[in-house]
Amino acid sequence: MKEILSVGIDIGTSTTQVIFSRLSVENTSGYFTVPKISIVGKDIIYKGEIHRTPLRTRTLIDGEAVRDIVSAEFQKAGFTPSQTETGAVIITGESARKENSEEVLRYLSDFAGEFVVSTAGPDIESVVAGKGSGAAAYSEENGVAVVNLDIGGGTTNAVIFDDGEAVAKGCLDIGGRLVTVTPDGKLDYISESASLVAQSVGVTLRPGDAARREDLARLCDGYAAVLEQFLGIAEPTPLLSRLKTPGSSDFVLHPKLRAVCFSGGVADFIYGKQDDPFRFGDIGVFLGEAIVRSRICSALRRIGAAETIRATVVGAGTYTTSVSGSTIDYTDGLFPLKNIPVMRLNAEEQRACFGGDSAALAEKFRWFLSQNDCRNAVVAMDGEKDPSYVSVQRLAKAISGALDPVLPAGEPIMVVLRHDMAKVLGRQIRDAVSDKRPVISVDSILVQENDYIDMGRPLMDGMVIPVVVKTLIFG
């Protein structure tokens, strides 16, 4: 068994958090069988403080201050960046839409260690938070569909898990810091989202006016009503579409949806009470209370969350990494690789390649590189469970014939498959290009078109490669 140190860093609309965990990786196959390497244990060993995300202006994150926070947490935890082998830096919620989010990631580059993902986007955030809250595990253990609502400062990320698998994702501009209040009880910041909802419920909110409890309660009842529409409990209104977060997927309801789990900072006010609703200078307490009053908690079974405000950072530190199959093939010295775009073949395109036809693949690959303004991409497909040697040979010739003339010198041919056939395919591609070009061929990884992947340094004596699949980077 090998242990990997993983770090999770979440820079959200309201808070910035850091955690460390140990992932245990082990060969779980029996004797006389092909090795199967799996992550068999995930233990959180350090939870940092919950820091208020530092801002220079309302639209600019203070990257230097964020770096200081992360540096201090590394020191408190007793680790150095070089010790971290995997994990994720995720800028989430409204922070992902700040003007300088990429600059902030550059400030954190020294903390990336060998293999830390820098990513953001509403879809991946929803899945990561849903795993960190325990909603995914509850769905798998109880055989029911569960929706996790991760309600932060600026957005509500939603994901439905059915038997542990994410089957729907979406995001709304609903959060606890979309209205802020000064220490002397005056309205300070009012977001566009809050203005729309306030108008719909007949409440007037103006900066500088007194923050009246009854007005903020009505506003949050309006937000809760939109969440009811989102979950199919109430008929949708035009307001629902206006609150959809840019870059998020269309949220498709699941017929088996029976339970709801809450995470994010607002979840603490759904599962518990807060005596002073203005303690945090925003509407988080009012929003939590409105959701408790709404039909969401009566129409669906409310389950407890393993993590609330820490759900995203826990998910980032423990659930973003998977490992490839053990029958893989690659050229040494290529890793780590980050932010590789994925070009996925559909069933018809895959059949053509298995038949030895490289023309369509070559045309699509050229188009994909030009559209994404990139030098290289991963060719992804399902593959076949028990392919014949001849069909793999034809596939290798089709892939090499399509990619080799297009790729710049020194760029590897990269293939990701779902089924276990990467080793033989990789060796056949090597033969087809006479070992003049690097090759990476890995399996047991499921990706979709327009995903991005990171590949870390090989583990377990080179048998497996840690992989992170990322969706909708910078939403």
The per-residue pLDDT for range 42-58, each reduced to its tens digit, is 788 899 999 999 988 87
Return residue ranges of the chain for CATH 3.30.420.40. 2-119
Locus of tokens 């779980």: 28
- Tell me which DSSP letter residue 472 carries: S
How large a percentage of the chain has pLDDT more than 70?
A: 87
Instruction: For residues 152 and 269, give the distance between their C-alpha atoms in angstroms, rounded to a whole number.
Output: 12
Q: What is the mean pLDDT of residues 422-444?
A: 92
pLDDT interval class at 457 (50, 70, 90)? confident
Q: Is the pLDDT of residue 226 over 70?
A: yes
355: pLDDT strictly greater than 60: yes
Of the candidates 295, 338, 262, which has an alpha carbon nearest to the alpha carbon of residue 88? 338
Quote the tokens at residue 428.
């056949």
The token duo for 441 is: 């061929």
Give φ, ψ of 393 to 5 degrees.
Answer: -60, -45
- Determine the Cα–Cα distance for residues 223 and 436; give it in Å rounded to an integer: 59
Give residue 31's pLDDT.
45
Architecture in CATH of 2-119: 2-Layer Sandwich (3.30)
Helix, strand, coil share (%) of the chain residues, nearest 5: 35, 30, 40
- 474 — pLDDT class (breaks 50, 70, 90): very low
Average of per-residue pLDDT values in the chain: 86
Q: Which residue has the higher pLDDT, 216 or 447?
A: 216
- Tens digit of each residue's pLDDT (9 = 90 or more) over 251-281: 999 988 999 999 999 999 999 988 899 999 9
Check whether domain 134-306 has CATH 3.30.420, yes or no? yes
Q: What are phi and psi of 36, to 5 degrees?
A: -130, 110
* Model confidence pTM above 0.85: no
Helix H or strand E segment including 37: strand 37-47
Phi then psi for residue 54, to 5 deg, are: -75, 135
Average pLDDT over residues 30-48: 64
User: Cβ neighbours of residue 220 under 8 Å, at least 6 residues apart?
Assistant: 283, 286, 287, 289, 290
Query: For position 473, what pLDDT does the model report?
Result: 35
- What is the spatial distance between Cα 59 and Cα 106, in angstroms, rounded to a whole number? 18
Across 80-84, 227-231, 370-374, 421-425, which has the greatest mean pLDDT?
227-231
State mean pLDDT over 396-425. Answer: 93
